[in-house]
């Protein structure tokens, strides 16, 4: 393993004598430092947001730049090297089935808890034209032009599914004619080397993102809507520990050990509020856990559009909260109809900051006669803080989905999975 590959998978195994030094040298420790500095600077110097925002945007753009070539290489190599195309079709079909079930469960849990807790009840908020203007401005805002950021090509986001389709077709064609994919496999290794270099900038990206969040919205915005925040974070925990934990246990692994195994990626997501920022690292780690390359290449990219559990919870809870806060009572029939619409709108949310808010707006737009879209102004200030929970839940959910689908397809090395999770425990 090269030094760069070691950085990607972060397999630090320090001895007892140098355990503290080993921890300080890890990427996730540096990310934590970056988050702390970002919060401190955001609170003390909120006017510096314009200088820090390019750090966050630049890091995420750099990672997204590698996603398309990485997915292409991984999927082509995985499919071209398979003995049966039926396995590829089976993996894709089972993944879509899992995605739909998981998303529905997430939506239902969010709907039940927000009705039980009723965080918006009693607020009696009156909306003004200014509220509608705030929401419209947020939804229609364009990123500022920046010469350095413009140099980085945009190859992620909505392009992911298109790249996945092309990669599947190329992989199938190569498998049918018996062509080898050594050159593409080597190209994939080059991309991972690039990812390893980019990951060294993760602390700067996390610092920039947190500074902008704190400076723009302030810690005071959390206090004003603390009940909704607590309700949402609690629901995400219930889903992760209860639902995903049960799924993991049924399929032979512990959700807690899995979370510890990807803790470095979760810290990066926490700092950047973007699940896409760790997509390359997650693909690498899931392969190390014993999932087949072709399954990882299919399930992970598709999951970033079709299996956003955290976003699903956010949509139902956000919509009902707005209805409660603005004194709009939704009947059971209307709530079930909203759930059905959310099943579709949640699929359009990419793994980037703010996409969950856009999906929520699209959901409320379908019910504008019952719930005012302008009511989203009530949660606009805390959306960035809720984005962390959305992204963390999405990443964990996609990781579990990949291992589950891989086992369903019979290509999960269960001994390697147990060994990797156990070794990670012993290295602590």
**How does pLDDT run across 85-112, given as a tens digit for each residue?**
777 788 888 998 999 999 999 999 999 9
pTM: 0.78
When mean pLDDT is compared across 115-129, 189-203, 294-308, the lowest value belongs to: 115-129
374 neighbors 125 (Cβ within 8 angstroms) = no
Q: Which long-range contacts (CB under 8 A, 24 or more apart) does 88-94 make?
A: 88/168, 88/171, 88/172, 88/294, 88/298, 90/409, 91/294, 91/295, 91/298, 91/299, 91/405, 91/406, 91/409, 92/298, 92/302, 94/405, 94/408, 94/409
Structural domains counted in the chain:
1
What does the pLDDT read at residue 57?
Answer: 79
Higher per-residue confidence, 380 vs 73 = 73
- 330-368: burial string, b at 16+ Cβ within 10 Å, e else: beeeebeebbebbbebbbebbbbbbbbbbbbbbbbebbe
Residue (of 191, 230, 154) closest to 76 by Cα position: 191
What does the pLDDT read at residue 27?
Answer: 77
Q: What is the average pLDDT score of the chain?
A: 79
Res 226 pLDDT > 90: no
Most confident range, picked from 95-99, 357-361, 386-390: 95-99
Share of the chain above pLDDT 90, in %: 20
pLDDT band at 221 (very low <50, low <70, confident <90, very high): low
Res 151 pLDDT > 70: no
Distance between CA 1 and CA 12 in Å, rounded? 13
Higher per-residue confidence, 175 vs 158 = 175
In 119-172, the DSSP E strands lie at none
pLDDT band at 12 (very low <50, low <70, confident <90, very high): very low
**How does pLDDT run across 19-31, given as a tens digit for each residue?**
555 667 777 688 8
What does the pLDDT read at residue 17?
Answer: 43
156: helix, strand or coil: coil
* Segment 380-395 mean pLDDT: 82
**How does pLDDT run across 235-266, given as a tens digit for each residue?**
999 999 999 999 999 999 999 999 999 998 99
* Segment 41-52 mean pLDDT: 81
379 neighbors 318 (Cβ within 8 angstroms) = yes
What does the pLDDT read at residue 146?
Answer: 60
pLDDT band at 420 (very low <50, low <70, confident <90, very high): very high
* Segment 410-418 mean pLDDT: 92
User: For residue 271, what are the domain limits?
Assistant: 3-426
Share of the chain above pLDDT 70, in %: 79
Identify the CATH number of the domain in which residue 25 sits: 1.10.3860.10
**How does pLDDT run across 319-348, given as a tens digit for each residue?**
888 888 888 888 888 888 888 888 877 775
Residue (of 258, 260, 271) closest to 199 by Cα position: 271
């Amino acid at each position: 393993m090269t030094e760069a590959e070691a950085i990607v998978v972060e397999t630090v195994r320090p001895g007892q004598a140098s355990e503290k030094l080993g921890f300080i040298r890890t990427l996730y420790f540096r990310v934590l430092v970056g988050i702390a500095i970002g919060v401190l600077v955001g609170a003390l110097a909120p006017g510096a947001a314009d200088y820090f925002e390019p750090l966050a945007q630049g890091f995420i753009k750099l990672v997204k730049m590698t996603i398309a070539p990485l997915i292409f290489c991984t999927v082509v190599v995985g499919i071209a090297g398979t003995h049966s195309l039926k396995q590829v079709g089976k993996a894709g079909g089972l993944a879509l089935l899992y995605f739909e079930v998981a998303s529905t469960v997430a939506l239902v849990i969010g709907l039940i808890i927000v009705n039980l807790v009723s965080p918006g009840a009693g607020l009696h908020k009156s909306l003004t034209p200014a509220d509608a203007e705030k929401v419209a401005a947020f939804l229609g805002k364009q990123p500022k032009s920046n010469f350095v950021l413009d140099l980085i090509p945009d190859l992620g986001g909505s392009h992911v599914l298109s790249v996945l389709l092309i990669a599947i077709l190329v992989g199938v064609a190569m498998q049918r004619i018996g062509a080898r994919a050594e050159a593409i496999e080597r190209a994939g290794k080059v991309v991972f080397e690039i990812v390893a270099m980019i990951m060294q900038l993760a602390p700067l990206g996390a610092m920039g993102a947190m500074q902008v969040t704190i400076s723009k919205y302030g810690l005071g915005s959390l206090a004003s809507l603390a009940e909704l925040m607590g309700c949402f974070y609690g629901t995400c925990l219930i889903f992760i520990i209860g639902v995903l934990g049960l799924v993991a246990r049924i399929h032979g692994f512990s959700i807690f050990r899995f979370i510890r195994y990807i803790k470095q990626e979760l810290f990066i997501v926490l700092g950047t509020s973007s699940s896409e920022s760790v997509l390359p690292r997650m693909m690498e780690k899931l392969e190390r856990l014993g999932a087949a390359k072709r399954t990882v290449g299919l399930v992970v990219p598709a999951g970033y559009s079709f299996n956003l559990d955290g976003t699903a919870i956010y949509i139902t809870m956000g919509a009902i909260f707005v209805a409660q806060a603005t004194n709009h009572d939704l009947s059971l029939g209307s709530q079930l109809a909203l759930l059905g619409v959310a099943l579709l709108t949640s699929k359009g949310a990419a793994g980037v900051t703010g996409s969950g808010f856009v999906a929520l707006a699209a959901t409320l737009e379908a019910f504008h006669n019952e719930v005012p879209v302008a009511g989203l102004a009530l949660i606009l200030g805390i959306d960035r803080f809720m984005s962390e929970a959305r992204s963390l839940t999405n990443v964990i959910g996609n990781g579990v989905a990949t291992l589950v689908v891989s086992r369903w397809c019979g290509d999960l090395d269960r001994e390697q999975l147990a060994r990797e999770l156990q070794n990670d425990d012993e290295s602590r």
